[in-house]
Amino acid sequence: MKATRRYPTEEELPLIETLNDIDFSASYTYADYLRFAFDERLEIIKGHLFKMSPAPSRIHQEILTNIFGPVYNILKGKPCRVYTAPFDVRLAKKTQDDKSIFTVVQPDIVVVCDENKLDKRGCIGAPDIVVEILSPGNNKKELVNKFDVYEEAGVKEYWIVSPSDKTFFRYILDEEGKFQPTKLLTIGEKVTTSILPGFLLDLEDVFRD
């Protein structure tokens, strides 16, 4: 009797131990991502791997804290939740199967108002708000690659913060599912959003040194 060939299950596949074992020209899924056993952080955008910046600078972390704090405070006692990186956001398309998810990102801050999108691994589906704080060397990734996947996934608001320019820019998803740009804001101006009633972010506080 001819033996039936048996393929290894996802759980039986070996871990990928070092970054040197990664083929950056290949296509990866979230199932592959779960096999990464090295310390370096990577994101997957439409199957392509991207290295994340080295440890964020002090200024980057201070700006993150200055945004996270007001968001966290306004959400006390409300259903929306706010998280900071490292926090996996899986942007699934047709199914939620690990092998069918080709985009896994770690935004600096996310706000999720649908608790059904939260599980023990992070968020699966589009957050309501995504905040990316730009770092030297990764601007193109945030502005081009992530713009596309956030728009396609249905992220309601995409905030881009530039520490070097001290600017805040926001895209808002319209009824047709397309991002519409808003006014570029800087020190002395304030940010509000319909997603968080009563929220007020003073950019003077965000960019204070």
Claim to verify: residue 121 and residue 90 sit in the same structural domain: yes
- What is the model's pLDDT at position 4? 47
Phi, psi of 101 (to 5 degrees): -100, 115
Q: How far apart are CA 116 and CA 79, in angstroms?
A: 11
- What is the model's pLDDT at position 28? 97
Instruction: Identify the helix (H) or strand (E) that includes residue 46.
Output: none
**Number of folded domains in the chain?**
2
Cβ atoms 209, 66 nearer than 8 A: no
Whether 4 is covered by a domain: the verdict is no
Claim to verify: residue 153 and residue 171 sit in the same structural domain: yes
Claim to verify: residue 95 and residue 161 sit in the same structural domain: yes
Claim to verify: residue 70 and residue 170 sit in the same structural domain: yes
Claim to verify: residue 64 and residue 160 sit in the same structural domain: yes
Triad 61, 41, 10: Cα angle to 5°: 140
How would you class 176 by CB atoms within 10 Å of its CB: exposed for 0-12, middle for 13-18, buried for 19 or more?
exposed
- Domain span holding position 25: 10-51
Q: How far apart are CA 99 and CA 72, in angstroms?
A: 33
Claim to verify: residue 165 and residue 67 sit in the same structural domain: yes
Claim to verify: residue 44 and residue 99 sit in the same structural domain: no
Claim to verify: residue 74 and residue 14 sit in the same structural domain: no
Tokens 């699934």 label which residue? 92
Claim to verify: residue 22 and residue 93 sit in the same structural domain: no
Whether 158 is covered by a domain: the verdict is yes
HSE, CB side, 13 Å, CA atoms: give it for residue 47.
6
Q: How far apart are CA 138 and CA 133, in angstroms?
A: 10
Q: How far apart are CA 165 and CA 182, in angstroms?
A: 17
Claim to verify: residue 185 and residue 103 sit in the same structural domain: yes
Claim to verify: residue 73 and residue 162 sit in the same structural domain: yes
Whether 2 is covered by a domain: the verdict is no
Claim to verify: residue 75 and residue 114 sit in the same structural domain: yes
CATH number for the domain harbouring residue 106: 3.90.1570.10
Q: How many residues are given for the chain?
A: 209
Per-residue pLDDT of the chain (209 residues; tens, 9 = 90+): 444 443 344 556 789 999 999 999 999 999 999 999 999 999 999 999 998 877 789 999 999 999 999 999 999 999 999 999 999 999 998 889 999 999 999 999 999 999 999 999 999 999 999 999 998 767 677 778 899 999 999 999 999 999 999 999 999 999 999 999 999 999 999 999 999 999 999 999 999 97
